[in-house]
């Protein structure tokens, strides 16, 4: 049996490790507080409150921008007063003005 050179084995192990890390990155990032869905805006509401929308969609305090918005849409569209739902993740960054 021929021996695999050490560098090749190391590269294979590194590639395998990176592929596992990439697969779990969204799950890990979802727990980072900076990616929490903190501000919510609703458009087109006539009969439901924003709290009802959040509760129905299952958007809790630990909701993240990495969560699957399609699951939220499906839950909302099952509500009898919701005709159609579209959940968008929007990131708004405000930079302070420079003091000079």
Q: Write down the pLDDT at residue 74.
A: 93
User: Is 18's pLDDT higher than 70?
Assistant: no
What distance in Å separates the CA atoms of residue 66 and residue 11, rounded to the nearest whole number? 30
Q: pLDDT per residue over 20-65, tens digit each?
A: 555 666 666 667 676 777 788 888 888 889 899 999 999 988 888 7
Estimate the crossing angle of helix 69-77 against helix 50-57, to 10 degrees. 110
Mean pLDDT of the chain: 76
Beta bridge partners of 36: 64
> Can you give the pTM of this predicted structure?
0.60
- 29-67 burial, b at 16+ Cβ within 10 Å, e below that, comes to eeeeeebebeeeeeeeeeebeeeebbebbebeeebbbbb
């Amino acid at each position: 049996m021929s021996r695999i050179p050490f560098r090749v084995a190391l590269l294979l192990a590194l590639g395998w490790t990176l592929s596992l890390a990439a697969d779990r990155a969204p799950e890990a990032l979802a727990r980072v507080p900076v990616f929490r869905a903190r501000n919510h805006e609703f458009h087109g509401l006539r009969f439901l409150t924003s709290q009802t929308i959040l509760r129905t969609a299952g958007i809790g305090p630990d909701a993240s921008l990495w969560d699957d918005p399609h699951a939220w849409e499906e839950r909302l569209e099952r509500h009898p007063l919701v005709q159609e739902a579209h959940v968008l993740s929007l990131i708004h960054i405000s930079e302070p003005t420079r003091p000079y």
